[in-house]
Structure 1
């Protein structure tokens, strides 16, 4: 018979967690939730001022002050120093959240190789490299990895070719590394958000009336009839990282209001 404390997200208390892309959007929301759950945070982002604001929000809710490890994840030396600084400061690493990524518009006709390289370097190569460096530390703690993918990794959409390809790569990266690391008791999962209300679409050039219509269209493009909120993704990340998901690995979990199950009408 299950006890009343069977839900174990509280197991994140005291867990050293490295979160990339923590200066905005899903990364910022996940940082705040993990802080409230008592995790010890190392936060990465390229916007250092925003990163400081997120860190203050974490401490304002009574959490320990996060370690800030800002920098560009495409720079190999920056990534190495980030991992060294995190482990040197806390003495271990329990959870890695690979959230950092960019959305860039472009089709096979309108994009170029420079765009392809930029998207793949940030969304895939940097994830590969950071995970590779963190794995030895996660093996010691029998830790957990949660990658942030997208509905675009499973479903095809026009006009975002490189982005869709990058998220498909993250989906399969999740499955493959889950099998690689299962014998070491390190779990690897990912979330696949649908449309979530953040600034990511604005940064990609979807602004003004076009963005308003894009959000309004979620009534039809998402089975639940609306876009998602950052906290809804953060809660799922926390679940997968926690002991509540102790027998889950290699999963690509849709957080998309049912969009993955829909067919165009």
Structure 2
């Protein structure tokens, strides 16, 4: 019914359907452009090599993994598929299913481009009224110098405005864990990111309740408006049909009268 009456609100309806599942695990979706280190980041966050890592495009579906009461989603890289099917899957994972969005951008790419800024602006706006967290994660920081990284972070923070920016190195984190080097682990930024995600996860169910109520109110209002508009259009069409029927009957009656007159004359 919503798709028919409010096609522009189909995404809200799909999200509301997700929110209706009270037992659904909190969902953390990792999204960003192809080859920015999303899958590597995810593997280190969960401590297992679950998600495929390669210089070639590997993630073409919404890959999921459940661990310790959290569902992790690895979305296809934005702009990796010229047919945009990957983008549709990535956006489904970030808009319909996700409770927490980790937007990944590689430090080696420098500042954000136009499409990334536009998407982050949408995520920030959504976070403002739905309470769904959106975090900007700058990956592969080990590939640039400290001064360069500082400049990159300064520019990106200006570009993202209200969103929190967290620089990390999944490679340093893995090396630190494997070598028992606590300083390297801390320098990787991963413990801070994991703590921040855990904090967001704890707030998911309360945020869902608020979002469900808000989206329900908005959709009901739009449905009522659309229903009223459809009713008014129906009344207009009905009146026009009655006018045309009256005109037809008048014309038909005149034709009948002319025919009878000619018959009498004959």
Determine if the TM-score, normalized by the shorter chain, exceeds 0.5: no
- TM-score interval, normalised by the smaller of the two chains: 0.3 to 0.5
Q: Which has the larger radius of gyration?
A: 2
- Of Structure 1 and Structure 2, the greater helix share is in 2
Bigger relative contact order, structure 1 or 2 (CA pairs below 8 A, ≥6 apart): 1
Give the TM-score of the pair, scaled to structure 1.
Answer: 0.41
